[in-house]
């Protein structure tokens, strides 16, 4: 193995998974301090990857999510020949291992998953206990090093500009992330978020509603029910969300990508779980409160409640989340 290996990582396609992938990146840098690590990922991931000091650059993934496009993968892989000594394949699909194979990267590391014999040269066992524990599973691919929680850098100048633009004061507002790209079985109801928002504003705190344009319907409903909240869904880029969350005094979120962002910038986070389990994908921080009813039907890991009642979230009362928020607000920030 070269003293300064070049490493290609085939990255995941979700924000939260990309944040958790930093557990692998930091372990690889510990093992190979002079390594150059590039990440092949969708274009949306570029601003996130730029906040990870371990990464040299992000390479745009050229294909649509879910598409096989065998010939395109072969052509793209051939363009990468001779550039990398190692590849780490984070997604579990068969097709995700094709580009490193066609690039003829000598060492190709990943979990077996979809019977990827031949495509991978180094298959790392994935115990059943880790199959849904994404951060630990990614870290395990390094086969060594220290497990470190993700830590994203913050752009202070961009943060100051955003705060001024939206009329927010650093550490005097709460960031609420009520969306979930995965599906409604991860979303605490809008009226619950609205009641929490009104309670936060009654304490003298500002409230910013963050999310992508896909979350605008949800945040718009909350803003109508809680006048005074600043609705920013669809009005900010991913890098803006990172900097705004870092400026918040507290964050409250569903199990989502922005929940992991909050943990990675050091903002205390109340995380609300429904169809998923905090045992698998918790925010990797000591400054968190994890709220989960642990009903007999959960975690089901479904996008839509298979029983049609969504009791795991609808019956999770606001008082419980508000009490968790109060506990975190009383804890002094780490030095």
Does residue 126 sit in the same domain as residue 27?
yes
Assess if residue 294 is contained within a domain: yes
Looking at the structure of the chain, the number of domains it has is: 2
The pLDDT of residue 277? 87
Question: Which of 165, 203, 191, 11 has the alpha carbon at shortest distance from 89?
Answer: 11
Local structure of 176: helix, strand or coil: strand
List 117's β-bridge partners, or say none.
Answer: 120
| 328-to-169, 177, 210, 260, 289 alpha-carbon distances in Å | 19, 17, 20, 17, 8
Residue 325 makes CB contacts below 8 A (sequence gap 6+) with 174, 196, 200, 250, 252, 270, 289
Asked if residue 163 and residue 133 are part of one domain, the reply reads: no
Task: Give the Cβ contact number of residue 80 at 10 Å.
Answer: 19
Could you count the other beta carbons within 10 Å of the beta carbon of residue 295?
16
Domain-terminating residue out of 105, 140, 175: 140
Q: Are residues 223 and 123 in the same domain?
A: no
Query: Rounded to whole angstroms, how far apart are CA atoms 231 and 209?
Result: 5
Integer Cα distance of 258 and 119 in angstroms: 33
Domain match, 136 and 173 both:
no
CB 232 within 8 A of CB 216: no
Within-domain flag for 199: yes
The 10s digit of each residue's pLDDT in 199-219 is: 999 999 999 999 999 999 999
- pLDDT (tens digit per residue) in 140-166: 999 999 999 999 999 999 999 999 999
Q: For residue 258, what are its two tokens? A: 């922005």
Same domain, 249 and 320: yes
Q: How far is CA 160 from the centre of its chain?
A: 24
Domain boundary (108, 140, 172) is at 140
The encoded tokens of residue 59 equal 């390479």
Q: Does any domain span residue 192? A: yes
Domain-embedded: residue 334: no
Does 95 fall in a domain?
Answer: yes
- First-last CA distance in the chain: 40
pLDDT for the residue numbered 110: 96
What is the domain-level CATH number for residue 181?
3.40.50.2000
Q: Are 54 and 193 found together in one domain?
A: no
Predicted local distance difference test score (pLDDT) of residue 335: 43
Range of 243's domain?
157-329
For residue 209, report the phi and psi dihedrals to the nearest 5 degrees. -100, 115
Helix locations, 170-296, DSSP H:
190-202, 216-225, 238-247, 257-264
> Which token pair is 216?
């605008």
Overall residue count recorded for the chain in this entry: 335
**Ranges of the chain whose pLDDT falls below 50:** 335
Residue 334: how many other CB atoms lie within 10 Å: 9
Residue 220 domain-assigned (yes or no): yes
Whether 168 contacts 244, CB under 8 Å = yes
The verdict on 218 and 318 lying in the same domain is yes
Q: Residue 250's CB: how many other CB atoms inside 10 A? A: 23
88, 106, 140 — which closes off a domain?
Answer: 140
Residues 170 and 246 in one domain: yes
Helix, strand, coil abundance in the chain, percent, nearest 5: 35, 15, 45
Residues 183 and 309 in one domain: yes
């Amino acid at each position: 193995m070269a003293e300064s290996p070049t490493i290609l990582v085939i990255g995941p396609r979700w924000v939260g998974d990309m944040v958790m992938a930093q557990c692998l990146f930091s372990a690889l840098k510990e093992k190979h301090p002079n390594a150059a690590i590039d990440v092949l990922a969708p274009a949306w991931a570029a601003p996130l990857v730029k906040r990870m000091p371990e990464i040299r650059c992000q390479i745009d993934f050229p294909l649509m999510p879910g598409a096989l496009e065998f010939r395109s993968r072969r052509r793209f892989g051939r363009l990468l020949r001779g550039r990398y000594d190692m590849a780490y394949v984070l997604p579990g699909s068969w097709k995700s291992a094709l580009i490193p194979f066609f690039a003829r990267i000598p060492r190709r590391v990943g979990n077996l998953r979809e019977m990827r014999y031949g495509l991978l040269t180094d298959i790392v066992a994935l115990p059943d206990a880790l199959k849904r524990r994404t951060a630990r599973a990614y870290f395990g691919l390094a086969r060594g090093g220290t497990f470190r929680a993700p830590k994203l850098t913050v752009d202070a100048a961009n943060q100051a500009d955003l705060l001024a633009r939206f009329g927010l004061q650093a550490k005097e507002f709460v960031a609420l992330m009520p969306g979930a790209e995965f599906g409604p079985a991860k979303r605490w109801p809008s009226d619950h978020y609205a009641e929490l928002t009104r309670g936060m504003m009654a304490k003298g705190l500002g409230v910013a509603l963050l999310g992508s344009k896909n979350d605008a319907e949800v945040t718009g409903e909350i803003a109508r029910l809680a006048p005074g909240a600043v609705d920013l869904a669809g009005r900010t880029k991913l890098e803006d969300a990172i900097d705004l969350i870092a400026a918040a005094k507290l964050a409250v979120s569903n199990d989502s990508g922005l929940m992991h962002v909050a943990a990675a910038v050091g903002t205390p986070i109340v995380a609300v779980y429904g169809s998923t389990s905090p045992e698998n994908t918790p925010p990797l921080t000591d400054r968190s409160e994890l709220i989960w009813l642990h009903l007999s039907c959960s975690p089901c890991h479904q996008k839509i409640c298979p029983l049609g009642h969504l009791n795991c979230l609808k019956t999770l009362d606001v008082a419980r989340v508000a009490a968790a928020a109060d506990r975190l607000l009383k804890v002094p920030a780490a030095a």
